[in-house]
A = this chain, B = another copy of it.
């Protein structure tokens, strides 16, 4: 890690702009299982580069999900030989997914907002105070003195809105709101964007939520909710991977729950655990005991065994954590 960090050069905003102006023929990489921020960043950056007379094209390892296609319009093969590889919103080379073998070790500049960025690129422009990488792209655009075209605004708004839960979460800053105000001035249909991103569920997803909630269990006097999402449920409801995305939010949205545990079955005896906690519980500490990790309020791990074995393991560690904190002794 240290040797990698030594090789990775941190860039200021000014240095990044100089780099972009003095290179050409860009290839822009998004992360696998793409979200609004990586796509918004990539397609806005493509427009920024076009505005300063540079060629570029976007490589999205898993393709662009339907709901982002109103701004994320993929090119056919580029008509130029790429020279300079950029990545947006990628914290770790593992997130290159299918194209990892092709591009790992070859990225010239990573543009990112994850404090956990592993410094895998030759150069890194990192703004960990940004709510989304799209905020970084906005800063680049402003620093280059470019106008806010409507298409760019749509891409950036989508990235910022999705990464902040529509300005709901603690990563939202006053600057985030000020940028949103500027983007909205360009007449984008932000209400429709938000409807697509937040208020549209497929019928399969609704069915899946219902099945998961039917199988949900409360433990420790309602302080822990176990939400199982089994392969059988996914098959019965016809849910795609996209439909399942974000379901763990439900586990901590119920009043009184301090630890929301979503158990996603990946294979017959393999489960991905997503743990969402409220103070004073530390999700990261709990998941570390099960071989995983993450943030204080949201962490994860992978467990093998039967569903009831996996549940038992989780309940043991969550119960321990509840007992060690005041959360366990409060009125039930």
Residues of A at the B interface (CB closer than 8 Å) are 165-170, 172-175, 177-178, 180-182, 184-185, 190-191, 194-195, 198-203, 206, 210, 213-214, 218, 222, 249, 252-256
Nearest B residue to A189, CB-CB: B170
The 3 closest A-B pairs by CB, nearest first: A170-B191, A174-B181, A177-B181
Nearest B residue to A184, CB-CB: B174
Chain B residues contacting A203 (CB-CB under 8 Å) are 218, 222, 254-256
Contact pick for A253, options B166, B181, B200, CB 8 Å: B200
The reply to whether A199 and B255 form a contact with Cβ atoms under 8 Å apart is: no
Chain B residues contacting A167 (CB-CB under 8 Å) are 166-167, 177, 180
Chain B residues contacting A210 (CB-CB under 8 Å) are 210, 213-214
The reply to whether B168 and A191 form a contact with Cβ atoms under 8 Å apart is: yes
Q: How far is the CA of A182 from the CA of B178 in the complex (A)?
A: 9
Contact pick for A181, options B175, B185, B214, CB 8 Å: B175
The reply to whether A255 and B168 form a contact with Cβ atoms under 8 Å apart is: no
Known A-B contacts A167-B180, A253-B199; the reply to A213 vs B222 at CB < 8 A is no
Nearest B residue to A168, CB-CB: B194
Q: How far is the CA of A185 from the CA of B173 in the complex (A)?
A: 9
Chain B residues contacting A253 (CB-CB under 8 Å) are 199-201
The reply to whether B169 and A174 form a contact with Cβ atoms under 8 Å apart is: no
Chain B residues contacting A166 (CB-CB under 8 Å) are 165-168
The interface centre, meaning the residue of A168, A173, A198, A200 with most chain B CB atoms within 10 A of its CB, is A168
Contact pick for A173, options B175, B184, B222, CB 8 Å: B184
The reply to whether B255 and A198 form a contact with Cβ atoms under 8 Å apart is: no
The reply to whether A182 and B191 form a contact with Cβ atoms under 8 Å apart is: no
Q: How far is the CA of A180 from the CA of B195 in the complex (A)?
A: 21
Q: How far is the CA of A218 from the CA of B202 in the complex (A)?
A: 13
Nearest B residue to A297, CB-CB: B191
The reply to whether B177 and A184 form a contact with Cβ atoms under 8 Å apart is: yes
Chain B residues contacting A198 (CB-CB under 8 Å) are 168
- Minimum CB–CB distance from A280 to chain B (whole Å) comes to 14
Chain B residues contacting A201 (CB-CB under 8 Å) are 253-255
Nearest B residue to A176, CB-CB: B181
Q: List 8 A-B contacts (CB under 8 A).
A: A167-B180, A174-B181, A174-B182, A177-B184, A199-B249, A200-B255, A206-B254, A210-B214
> 15 new A-B pairs (CB below 8 Å) besides A175-B181, A210-B213?
A165-B166, A167-B177, A168-B191, A168-B194, A168-B199, A173-B184, A174-B180, A174-B182, A178-B181, A200-B253, A201-B253, A203-B218, A203-B254, A203-B256, A206-B213
- Minimum CB–CB distance from A127 to chain B (whole Å) comes to 17
- Minimum CB–CB distance from A123 to chain B (whole Å) comes to 31
Chain B residues contacting A252 (CB-CB under 8 Å) are 199
Chain B residues contacting A191 (CB-CB under 8 Å) are 168-170, 172
Q: How far is the CA of A198 from the CA of B165 in the complex (A)?
A: 11
